[in-house]
Amino acid sequence: MNTFLAVAALMLVGALGAVLVPLLRRPDPAETRAATSAVLVLISLPLLAGWLYTRWSNWSWKAVPQTTQQVPPEVSAMVESLASRLSSQGGTLEEWQMLGRSRVQLGQYDAAAEAYAQAYRLSGGSDLETLTSYAEALVLADPESLRADAGDLFERAVALSPQDPKALWYGGLAAFSREQYALARDRWQALLDHDPPPPEDVRKIIAERVAIADSALNGAGPATAATPPAEASTQSESSGSGARSIVVEVTISPALAAKVDPDAPLFVLARAPGGGGPPLAVERHQARELPLSIELTDEDAMVPGRNLSSAGEVEIVARVALGGQPTATTGDLYGSVEIADGGATQTRIEIDQIQP
């Protein structure tokens, strides 16, 4: 496996060289667009290569130990430089799209939504990729937006391209959140019938959502429809169904209790150690609810297939968010704990730290 990764890395370096050298070899070395394009390729090509390998190779990536993900300072600096230039000088649709994608990869979902908003404006709302990416960034920043702006955008996406998989998936989630269960079921069923068909692991997730919608249509309602009927009777026996849940008791230290705005959002989330990518599970509450006891489950995932059951070691974080979002902001109050693969199903967190 290490040999494979080394060879893949060398191939990636070669590909980067083949693309970057022509971009930078321009008559005017200071040309802004050439430098910008080089930066965008430097960021996007490795990310795209990683995405393709994890989805199309037959290697069991879940067996590879997870390592803490660190973003090189120079990459963050390049993204910030690009953002500054686009904000001051403007940019093309493609540049704003790339800034949005880069922000998502860095976990900066609010900033990603802002970048995609600019791309959406430039596209006049007619570009499907921009439309769905903008809405997805809004959902990553705030899951509640699925019932509001993001949901409206996904409705437009479905109208624009009724067979687009991303539009159908999120359009189903938006419809379900608005208690339009028949519409949600039809959209998810269309995904199951899609040509080409989705991979088997994705198909299983979609089929579970169809079962949830059917349960809601039969009168179970959204609260009890959160678990597919086939799993409802064994929910407490997570080892039997493969589902995973973690009960989290959250308190706040007396020293920080006086600093809390009761109306501030309180996020309790599970993520891969190091914080890379969207959370594996997240719930939003208010600081006034402290002390709080909740249960994080696979149903609290933000992205299909990326949930507690798909992870080994996880980090649980409780954050009183001054910025209103689950991503860290200076001054946030938080606490965290790590749980080993196959470890405790119940844990306690004391919010006792201030985000620097």
pLDDT tens-place string over residues 206-256: 888 888 888 888 765 554 333 333 333 333 333 334 578 899 999 999 888
Say whether pLDDT at 116 is over 90.
Answer: yes
What residue segments make up the domains of the chain, in order of their start? 2-25+32-52+71-192, 241-354
Give mean pLDDT, residues 103-124. 91
Q: Which of 266, 328, 306 is nearest to 61 (CA)?
A: 306
Q: Which residue has the tokens 């609010």?
A: 110
Confidence band for 176, pLDDT divided at 50, 70 and 90:
confident
Q: What is the CATH number of domain 2-25+32-52+71-192?
A: 1.25.40.10
Q: How far apart are CA 112 and CA 119, in angstroms?
A: 11
Residues 245-284: tens digit of each pLDDT: 899 999 999 888 888 888 889 999 998 876 566 788 888 8
Per-residue pLDDT, 97: 93
Say whether pLDDT at 69 is over 60.
Answer: no
241-354: which CATH architecture?
Sandwich (2.60)
Q: Which residue has the higher pLDDT, 325 or 37?
A: 325
Residues 324-333: tens digit of each pLDDT: 766 778 888 9
Backbone region of residue 305 per phi and psi (left: phi > 0; alpha: psi in -120 to 50; beta: other values):
left
**Which residues lie below 8 Å from residue 280, measured CB to CB, with a gap of 6+?**
269, 270, 271, 272, 301, 306, 307, 308, 310, 311, 314
Cα 277 to Cα 43, 107, 200, 272: the distances in Å are: 15, 6, 23, 8
**How far apart are the two ends of the chain, measured CA to CA in Å?**
38
Q: How far apart are CA 211 and CA 129, in angstroms?
A: 29
Say whether pLDDT at 155 is over 80.
Answer: yes
Q: How far apart are CA 95 and CA 20, in angstroms?
A: 16
Per-residue pLDDT, 234: 33
Per-residue pLDDT, 220: 55
Q: How far apart are CA 183 and CA 186, in angstroms?
A: 5
Q: How far apart are CA 208 and CA 227, in angstroms?
A: 8
Per-residue pLDDT, 243: 74
